[in-house]
A and B are shown apart, each in its own frame.
Chain A
Amino acid sequence: MKVNNFKTIQEEDERYYAQQWQEKGRTALQNALSFCKLLGQIAEVYVPRAVEVLLSATDAGQTPSGRYRSPDMPDNDKGPGGPSAYSDGRL
């Protein structure tokens, strides 16, 4: 069989890693991935809601056509009996 000490070096390093770091590394990685997963879940749940809230907040102060107007609310252009004298240009 062909000797390849590049692979021997790799095997030595793998054995060393298994003895010294493997368990610590696994735990740290699992914690990091759990944290990423949690962040992902938070983003998944809250980001769409946050966007909705932002959209509704910006909608509230937008164009007159989109704005709710109560039937009892007085029209600025008209008096109780119709257009005011001011708006007609008579005064």
Chain B
Amino acid sequence: MEVVNRYLETQASMCFSILYDRYAGKIFGKCLVLLKDEALAQDATQEIFTKIFLNLSGFGEKAKFSTWVYSITYNFCIDFLRRRKKMQSLFDDDTEVERLKDVADDVADEELMEMETAHLRAVLDRLPADDRTVLLMKYQDDMSIKDIASMLDKTESAIKMKLKRAKEKAYRFKQEMFTEAVL
């Protein structure tokens, strides 16, 4: 926060560099998982950073700076994907019939968090973008259900349900893609 204030006062390039070094890689990582294209992720990172620096004076200190940065990142990626019409029903309660009946209980967080990184990448790659988004918010950024709900403009119960379904889908994909191959 001190760096942000100093940048606003002095526009010092050192403060710019500190903020850039701290967040650019994280933003790029999220864009890469959400947009699934390295060049697009790179362009998105630049645009998001431009937005961040141009709106820095509007940061209200109500939330953590990182939460504010990530909310800009997620909103940018969601808007981008919507514009490309790849996910018109993003975060809408879809009527898609989901094959979740074989998942008896809730999937434990550890099942996802302890998945091998290569497997986790493959599973995330296969998930719809809205499911990827909530999983990243929850497990990568440690955001609370309340924060996710307010960021996506949804109710907390809708987010809980979305998260539950996303976890179940991820678990099912993991089983389909990796467990069966071993057997």
**A residues at B contact (CB < 8 Å):** 2-10, 12-15, 17-18, 21-22, 25-26, 28-30, 32-33, 36-37
Contact = CB atoms under 8 A, between A and B. Distances in A.
A18 B25 contact: yes
B13 A17 contact: no
**6 tightest A-B contacts by CB?**
A14-B25, A13-B29, A6-B139, A17-B25, A17-B28, A6-B140
Contacts of A17: 24-25, 28-29, 45
A17 B26 CA distance: 9
16 contacts: A4-B113, A5-B113, A5-B115, A9-B33, A10-B30, A10-B140, A12-B117, A17-B24, A17-B45, A21-B45, A25-B45, A25-B49, A26-B20, A28-B46, A29-B20, A36-B54
Interface in B120-143: 120-121, 124, 135-136, 139-140
B33 A22 contact: no
Interface residues of B, number: 35
A3 B110 CA distance: 8
A44 to B, nearest CB: 14
A6 B136 contact: yes
Interface string B86-106: 000000000000000000000
The SS class assigned to the A binding surface is helix
B113 A3 contact: yes
B46 A4 contact: no
Given A21-B28, A26-B20, A29-B20, A9 B121 contact: yes
B121 A26 contact: no
B50 interface: yes
A51 B21 CA distance: 41
Contacts of A13: 25, 28-29, 32-33
Best-surrounded residue of B29, B117, B124 (most CB of chain A within 10 A): B29
Contacts of A18: 25
Contacts of A3: 110, 113-114
